[in-house]
Each structure stands twice: as C-alpha cells, then as structure tokens.
Amino acid sequence: MKRAFVSLVRRDVALAVQVGGGGGMAVFFFFVTVALLPLGIGPNLNLLGQIAPGLLWVALLLSSLLTLDRLFQADFEDGTLDVLSMATLPLELTVVAKVLSHWLTTGLPLVVAAPFLGLLLNLSGDQFLPLVSAMLIGTPALSLMGAVGAALTVSVRRGGLLASLLVIPFYIPVLIFGVAAASSNVMPAVSTQAIALLGAVTLMSFVVGPWAAAAALRANLKT
C-alpha cells in the first residue's frame, strides 16, 4: 500500500512536470498579479508595506484556484480514476496522494515565490519568516479543500470555475489567519495565535477533506 501511494505521487508529479501549465501557470499568474498591484495602488511604499501580506495571500489564493481542475479531471476523462477506485489503495488515500502531488507542484512553488514577490511590495524584513511559515502551514489546506470542490465537479466538463466558486468561502479562514500571522512586527502574540489556528484549519481539512472528496468521487463514478 505504501509503494502504491508513493508511485501515485511520483506519477502525478511527473505528469505535472511533463505536461506543464500547472504550477508554472500558477506561479506566473502569482507574479503578474503582484507586479500589477503597485501600479494600481500607487508608489506609496509605506502603504504597500502595510498591505503586502494581504495582497500576497489574496494573489496566492487566486493562483491556487487555477489548477484545481487538474486534480481529478484528466483521470476521470480517460478512465484512470475508475481503475484507481478499484485498486488496493483506498480511494481516500488516493485523494491524499493526489493532494500531496498538487501541493508539491503548485502550493510549494507559490510559497517559494512569495518572498521574492514580497520585495516588490516593500514587505518588512521581519515579516518574511512568519509569512512563509504561515503559507507552508496554510497551503496544504487550500489543496485539501480544493480537492473536495474538484471532486464534486469532476463530471462537469470544464468545471474548474464551478469548483473555484464552491471552495472560495472555505478559503476565507486561511486568508484571515494567514494575513494575521504576518503581523509579528506589531503584535507577536497575535501572530503566534494565528499560526496555531491556521494549523488547526489544516489539520481539520486533512481529517475531513479526503473523506469528503472520496465520497464525491464515488458518487460521480456511479453516475
């Protein structure tokens, strides 16, 4: 079972790298969004520095939505998902493997790119560590929640937009706690509490997300 899990993760990561357009597209959208924001807000560096964590988190959330349809859609269309559902690996663990590969190819590159883009927004030096820490903790929750939306709309042709609309309300706690975590230069206690709450959201998503996504996939595979 462990070998099947690792093989599935390697397969999805290799496909994402070979096909392209997934994590690279998300990072490119992340960069373009952050680069355009100063043009709309103006050259006020103090203002940009104050709102930089919020801008980075909003841009990251929007970027992560671009690749939700890649979680299950291709495997559903070519029949691979039917084979995976009948394999020895439980469908819940299959969902976890796909979420992990999605995070490795999309979430992690976005987190790596965030500090460099923070320089464009005059992000304070003491905010980099809490911001990156919060993103490392929070982005797995985005992939887990996104998997539920992707599973619910897997039978809908080009259902990426619908999946995005379904999961955006559930992204709001991650956004709130993620932005609060970067306020360590002003309120260190608030930052610590925010990171703890963000970790709780991720753990809850890990407990609920795979089961909900697997149930949605089974319902779609029966139709």
Provide the residue ranges of all domains of the chain, joining segments of one domain with +. Answer: 2-222
User: What pLDDT, on the 0 to 100 scale, is given for residue 184?
Assistant: 58
The pair phi, psi for residue 2, each rounded to 5°, is: -65, -40
Nearest to 202 by CA among 153, 132, 102, 135: 135
- Rounded distance between C-alpha atoms, residue 200 and residue 196, angstroms: 6
- Rounded distance between C-alpha atoms, residue 114 and residue 112, angstroms: 6
Burial of 199 (0-12, 13-18, 19+ CB in 10 A): middle
User: What pLDDT, on the 0 to 100 scale, is given for residue 187?
Assistant: 63
User: What pLDDT, on the 0 to 100 scale, is given for residue 159?
Assistant: 65
User: What pLDDT, on the 0 to 100 scale, is given for residue 172?
Assistant: 93
Along the 223 residues of the chain, how does pLDDT read in single tens digits? 788 888 888 988 888 777 665 678 888 999 998 988 888 887 777 888 888 888 999 999 999 988 888 888 888 878 888 888 887 888 899 999 999 999 999 999 999 999 999 888 888 888 888 889 999 999 999 999 999 999 988 887 766 778 888 899 999 999 999 988 876 555 666 678 888 999 999 999 999 999 999 999 988 887 5
* Interaxial angle between packed helices 108-120 and 45-65, expressed in degrees from 0 to 180 and rounded to the nearest 10: 160
